Amino acid sequence: MNSMKEYLLKNFEQAFVLLVLLSVVGIYYLAPFKLAFLNFFFIPILMAGYYLGLRYAVLGAFLCIVMVCAYAAYDSTPFMYVPEKEHIYLQLSLWGGFLILSGALVGKLYENLDIRIKASEVLNLAYQQSQTELETANTELKHYTENLESMVEEKTRNLSESKQIVEQLKARVEEVLHTSMDPVVAQMLIEKRLRNEKKHIAVLVSDLHHFTPYVEGKQPESVIQELNRYLKDMSGFMDSYSAHLDKYTGDGYMLEFGMPIDYKYHSLQAVVCGIRMMEFMRSSAYPWKMRLGITSGDAVVGMIGGRRKTYTVMGNCANTASRLESLCTPGSLLIDEETYKRTSTFIEAKVFHIDDVNRKDRDNDIESVIHSLMQQSTRKPEDIDLLVLLGNKLMQYGDSDQAKSYFLKAMRLHPELKEAKIGFAEASMQTKNDLIQLKGRTSGFILYEVIGLRDFLVSSAIPEEIRHKFGRIIQQSNIPSELVWPAEIISGQLGHAARTTLLAYALADRMNIGASDRQALVTAGFLHNCGHQIVSHSVLTKATALTREDILAIQRHPEESVRIMLRHGYDDRATLECVLHHHQTPTNNGYPSRKSNKPISKIARILSIAEVYEALTENRPWRDRWNPESALEEMHIDVANGRFDGEIFEAFEKMIISGLNPTS
């Protein structure tokens, strides 16, 4: 009974339709006029189509048609109000067709409706799920919004802590790396730009005289502390002049210049670095004397070693530098002939003889005479008698190589001059006797002992009166050399700042500029190009036309100069503005600020004129020096184009012309 009840509840629609159909069949069976009741069959068929679908509606219609046709075949009397029997079947056929069609249409409509209802239910379910998810998301968003500030603070704190840890690790790695390898080498190694190659370099080898006896009887801690203090002082010069520290050898060390970065003037970097080290040691309280040997030449450079590698140099260049250092008298610097040829324009040196090691007394009188004659020859480079006299004095002093160069200059000016020919021949013979044999070399060569740097203020383009009157002021300025010289050496312009400052100061004095502005001009004159260190050395020494990128790089140097000055405590406003604007024109063109509305100070305009004149009258990597007349003529064109202040240039021109030609 229960199963029947469950079946009826589960299939109520089918049972109800079947009941209606049976009721219609019963009524039809009892009705006397069958044709009149045929339309009753539409009721169960339409209900079947609505509740049960297309299939059951069509099957029910067929069942009704079969049943009615069976009635008609069994007993056609109830259908006889139709005249012909064929008409009965025709009417039944029409009725049956409409019955099937009605059932099919209603069934199809039901199925479509059912599909839409189910789709609506699915959409409704999805909507409810979306609504639930939206409410959940809204709740989470509300919670997130309420806690956003604290979460941001927490994330920021975590990021800050992570960054601090990374920075600490980076600093530790860099510290370890820098203690074992040159930072430039390390960076190039990381970037895979370090190559094994043969290149021209300069090698400096240093040693401390009598260091071994000094350490005997002293505590190890005291010795190491003192030695580290000395090496720390020397490392400042190494960094300033771009030296690569190859190795420490107890109290000595070996440096290379021109590697890994191939600076054009690496020999000059090495010699100036050595001179500055010597000067520092002479003025310090260290109880030792330094010996330095410098050579220049081709060598093989690269990374060598097994698990632990080092960037070093191989070849005669390093061996010869070590040998030169051992030949030095304490407190002196020896260089080879190649280094001398590359640096002779900037340094004073004399031929070194082996017996100089034990020689105690120097002929100071003849040295002063030679020095005076050299200064005169700089001012009068075409004085033949002066050149021959200087050559003879150098022969007398024993410097046959320099003597030969002066005799050769005289012969070029006067090819038939007998005194010059004889002097040149004698100097050549003596040069052969000066050759020193070193182990490992098949031929001898000349060594030179460096006396120091030449006087940068001596120039044929600068009146001697100006140098005598203001030279001491320029030389006594307290500007650190390491802020000026390294940038000048890279571009081969050593002494540019000193000569520019001398000319600018003399012009300012001539124009009655105040003392404070003149002092600002001295500082600005020395430091106006220190920002060149951010410009690639290949650009500064480029002999071909500069690209747009090269020009833009150079035009950034005034701003960099100001930044460097501020880092070193130079904060005087007039000085900084002078440096920043020394490439601005009176019409506010130029760089770094094109079309600036800010007025250009008078000392900046003075510095601009002095710098251009000095640059034109001195040698540059891409051209030879101009004579003063040609330089002034070229600057006249710049005045016409608005580059220089006409009034200031007129005063400058008069100062130069009257100084170089006092009788005119």
Distance CA 279, CA 558 (A): 30
The predicted pLDDT at position 3 comes to 63
State phi, psi for 449 to the nearest 5 degrees: -95, 125
Note the pLDDT of residue 236.
92
Q: Is the pLDDT of residue 146 over 60?
A: yes
Highest mean pLDDT among 7-16, 85-94, 163-172, 445-454: 445-454
> Matching CATH topology for 181-352+444-454 and 464-660?
no
Q: Using DSSP, how many helices (H) and how many strands (E) does the chain show?
A: 27, 8
State the CATH class of domain 181-352+444-454: alpha beta
Q: Give the residue, 531 or 13, on which the prediction is more confident.
A: 531
CA-only gyration radius of the chain, Å: 52
Q: Which is it for strands 309-314 and 333-336: parallel, antiparallel or unpaired? A: unpaired
Give backbone dihedrals phi and psi of 219, rounded to 5 degrees, phi first: -70, 140
How far apart, in whole angstroms, are the C-alpha atoms of residue 204 and residue 249?
Answer: 13
Q: Where are the domains of the chain?
A: 2-123, 181-352+444-454, 361-435, 464-660
Indicate whether 387 pLDDT > 60.
Answer: yes
Conformational region of residue 431, where left means phi above 0, alpha means psi within -120 to 50, and beta covers everything else = alpha
Query: Residues 648-664: what's their mean pLDDT?
Result: 87
What average pLDDT does the segment 620-640 reach? 90
For the stretch 17-31, pLDDT in tens is 566 666 666 655 666
Share of the chain above pLDDT 90, in %: 35
Dihedral sign for Cα 172, 255, 275, 496, please: negative
Q: Mean of the pLDDT values across residues 40-45? A: 67
Per-residue pLDDT tens over the stretch 538-554: 888 888 888 999 888 89
- Four-point Cα dihedral 403, 407, 409, 413, nearest 10: 160
With b for 16 or more beta-carbon neighbours within 10 A and e for fewer, the 333-367 pattern comes to bbbbbbbbebbbebbbbbbbeeebeeeeeeeeeee
Binning pLDDT at 50, 70 and 90, where does residue 395 land? Answer: confident
Tell me the CATH class for 464-660: mainly alpha
Residue 334 has pLDDT above 70, yes or no: yes
Average pLDDT over residues 141-158: 77
Considering only 294-298, 314-318, 340-344, 639-643, which range has the smallest mean pLDDT?
A: 314-318
Q: For residue 577, which of 533, 615, 486, 566 has the smallest C-alpha distance?
A: 566
Model confidence at 10, pLDDT cuts 50, 70, 90, reads: low
Distance (Å, whole) CA 664 – CA 654: 11
pLDDT of 356 reads 45
Residue 462: its pLDDT value, please? 93
Give the pLDDT mean for 244-261. Answer: 90
d(CA 473, CA 522): 9
What is the pLDDT, as a whole number, of residue 13?
59
DSSP string, 229-250: HHHHHHHHHHHHTT-EEEEEET
Question: What pLDDT, on a 0 to 100 scale, did the predictor assign at position 14?
Answer: 63
At residue 590, the pLDDT reads 83
The least confident of 436-450, 458-472, 606-620 is 436-450
Share of the chain above pLDDT 70, in %: 77
Give the pLDDT score at 39.
Answer: 64
Dump pLDDT digits (tens) for 577-602. 999 999 988 877 888 876 556 788 99
Q: Is residue 359 over pLDDT 50?
A: no
pLDDT at 250: 82
Angstrom distance (rounded) from CA 262 to CA 277: 22
pLDDT value of residue 570: 94
Across 596-649, the runs of DSSP E, i.e. the strands, are none
Please tell me the class of the 361-435 domain.
Answer: mainly alpha
pLDDT over 80 (residue 534): yes
pLDDT score for 362: 44
436 vs 282, which has greater pLDDT? 282
Mean predicted confidence (pLDDT) in 374-382: 73
Q: Mean pLDDT across the chain, nearest whole number?
A: 81
Mean pLDDT of 324-339: 90
Enter the tokens of residue 368.
């002063």
CB pairs under 8 A, 24+ apart, for 641-645?
A: 642/585, 642/586, 642/587, 642/589, 643/585, 643/590, 643/608, 644/585, 644/586, 644/605, 644/608, 644/609, 644/612, 645/586, 645/602, 645/605, 645/609
DSSP letter at 154 equals H
Which tens digits make up the pLDDT trace of 84-112?
A: 555 556 656 656 665 666 666 666 666 66
Average pLDDT over residues 358-383: 65
C-beta of residue 400 within 8 angstroms of C-beta of residue 351: yes
Cα(591)–Cα(293) distance, rounded to whole angstroms? 43
- How far apart CA 446 and CA 340 sit, in angstroms, is 10
**Which phi and psi (to 5°) does residue 419 adopt?**
-60, -40
CA distance 433 to 435: 6
Tokens of 1: 């009974």
Residue type, 70: A
486 near 241, Cβ under 8 Å?
yes
Number of neighbours of residue 274 by Cβ within 10 angstroms: 25
The alpha carbon of 349 is separated from its chain's Cα centroid by a whole number of angstroms, namely 39
